[in-house]
Amino acid sequence: MTNEQGWKETLEDLDLRRERSRAMGGPERLAKHHGKGKLDARARLDHLLDKGSFREFGTLVGGEIAADGIVAGSGLINGSPVMVGAEDFTTLAGSIGPGGNAKRYRLAELALRDRIPLVMLLEGAGFRPSGEHYGRTPTDLLAQAQCSGKVPMVGGLLGPSAGHGALVAPVCDWTIMSNQGAIFTAGPPVVKESTGEDISKEDLGGPSVALASGVIHNLAEDDEAVLDDIRRYLSYFPSSAWSYPASLPEDEASEPRSTPELLDIVPRGNRRVYDMRAVLDVVFDDRGWFEVQPKFGQAMICALAHLGGHPVAVVANQPKVIAGSIDADAADKAAHFINVADSFHLPIVFLADNPGMLPGSRSEKSGVLRSGARMFAAQTAATTLKLHVTLRKAYGFGSMVMSLLGFDHQSATFAYPGATMGAMSAAALSKASHAAEDMEAKLRKAEVEASFRSAGHLGFDDLISPEETRNALLSALRRGLYSRQAAAEPVSRTVITP
């Protein structure tokens, strides 16, 4: 018998065990799963990763329970390595057993050790009831928290996710859900038993609930769309906080160009409404941009874009929604987004056009001041490159959270001529002070001239025409990038707050 023949029986046994694991929940459960228009766990990984790049570990964990309910390993996305885990709903509803728990911990452990992103695809019932205590056993959430701010973490919700598994999502930097996704502390049967409330999984934690609460950032139509968006999101980020985002090769889309379109898009009058998204379309590279959390805090736009081929984060007021006033949800959204961008060294472009923080009893009850302070703390503590443009107005605390004030570590600050700023608008001040008509007119005139007075005292680096917006930002960005003369390192915060 040759050495090769001696291996035959052992390798056949290995192949058989692997086949059992890769069969997941079996033909009937897989057919039922596919019948709902869903991909199974392994097909999801095949779609997410570059073709043929997936390398599994823990294949035999779980014994008769295929992969113990989670397919785990590494692969490539756009040529860069990532750690990936996909809960297998066809195997005991994707529940977590001792072996699955160990694999989940190992995923996060290796992501941090190798300094590469972690992607978790979720559709599971949480910890599997066993009647036994796990004892002194590490949990994946501990390892995931240690990854926060050091490697990008993404969660994809592709079905119902409950209990422990659901907690993975809000600890991630960014989460996206399919139309069939749902997320909750406990599912409808447990809710019925513990509270008496009879509710569907959609009404408990479906997209309309999860997006409105801010627990989930983005929504996509189906599994394929979710996975495509994950690939796109990660394309803006470095592999870890120990490296800088990669720039795209220079081409026509990244070249300097004037932006005369903004003269038509941005009204001169402060009270007229326009869509800030149209500004982003013109200012940033023609490749398009990716909005984060578009259905939450809609008075603020948070987006990933390219400027001259360089990945940037964009924080912009949206005059189309409550006149661009910053409410609690908008501030919370921006604070988290700024922390993520800063953690991974994405330059931040602030486009300000707001009348301040949203006033009123409902806004105060929502904690608008606390949320505004959170956003201010995030942006003023950010160590990454910061660029600012005031398009028409920025009043009170609304200017500070948008990085308008001097000595806030900006690489450049710009404003359009006639941009107004201060503690409050002339209209609000005249009403608050019961000013006479002639005084109100003087206040309005002073407000219009404020940008020129401010420019005369270097309140801004420069006043620019709307036509110059892209080129002014691009020039400042290219200059600022020369500050990257030392190796990238993680920002000295504990974690990115969910």
Domain end point (choices 207, 234, 261) = 234
Classify residue 240: in a domain, yes or no: no
Classify residue 495: in a domain, yes or no: no
Tokens of 59: 């294949």
177 and 278: one domain?
no
How many Å apart are CA 31 and CA 416, to the nearest integer?
Answer: 59
Domain end point (choices 204, 234, 264) = 234
Closest CA to 199 of 211, 213, 184: 184
Q: What is the pLDDT of residues 410-459, one digit of tens each?
A: 999 999 999 998 744 445 444 544 555 565 556 566 666 788 888 888 88
- Report the domain count for the chain: 2
256 and 202: one domain?
no
Task: Return the CATH number at 34.
Answer: 3.90.226.10
Half-sphere exposure of 217 (CA within 13 A, CB side): 28
Classify residue 1: in a domain, yes or no: no
336 and 396: one domain?
yes
* Parent domain of 295: 252-483
- Count CB-CB contacts under 10 A for residue 394: 29
How many Å apart are CA 457 and CA 470, to the nearest integer?
Answer: 24
Give the pLDDT of residue 430: 45
316 phi/psi in degrees, rounded to 5: -135, 135
Give the pLDDT of residue 426: 47
93 and 159: one domain?
yes
Give the pLDDT of residue 423: 47
Classify residue 489: in a domain, yes or no: no
142 and 175: one domain?
yes
Classify residue 221: in a domain, yes or no: yes
- Dihedral of CA atoms 105, 108, 111, 114 in degrees, nearest 10, equals -50
Burial per residue of 74-107, b for 16 or more beta-carbon CB atoms within 10 angstroms, e otherwise: bbebeebbbbbbbbbbbbbbbbbbbbbbbbbbbb
| pLDDT averaged over 10-residue windows placed end to end, the chain, 498 residues | 85 94 94 97 98 97 94 98 98 94 97 99 91 75 96 98 94 98 94 93 96 98 99 98 95 92 96 97 95 98 98 99 98 98 98 96 95 96 97 95 90 95 54 53 66 87 97 98 94 77
Give the pLDDT of residue 72: 98
How many Å apart are CA 155 and CA 181, to the nearest integer?
Answer: 12
Strand partners, 82: 75
158 and 291: one domain?
no
Give the pLDDT of residue 447: 66
Decide if 90 contacts 125 (C-beta within 8 A): no
Classify residue 471: in a domain, yes or no: yes
| pTM of the shown model | 0.93
How many Å apart are CA 234 and CA 232, to the nearest integer?
Answer: 6
Q: What is the pLDDT of residues 454-487, one digit of tens each?
A: 888 888 899 999 999 999 999 999 999 999 999 9
Half-sphere exposure of 328 (CA within 13 A, CB side): 15
Domain end point (choices 174, 207, 234) = 234
298 and 182: one domain?
no
Give the pLDDT of residue 441: 58
Give the pLDDT of residue 425: 47
3-class SS at 339? helix
264 and 228: one domain?
no
349 and 431: one domain?
yes
398 phi/psi in degrees, rounded to 5: -65, -25
302 and 227: one domain?
no
Classify residue 189: in a domain, yes or no: yes
Strand partners, 362: none
Give the pLDDT of residue 357: 96
SS3 content of the chain, % helix, strand, coil (to 5): 45, 20, 40
129 and 272: one domain?
no
As separate numbers, helices (DSSP H) first and strands (DSSP E) second, the chain gives: 19, 17
Give the pLDDT of residue 436: 52
223 and 293: one domain?
no
Classify residue 243: in a domain, yes or no: no
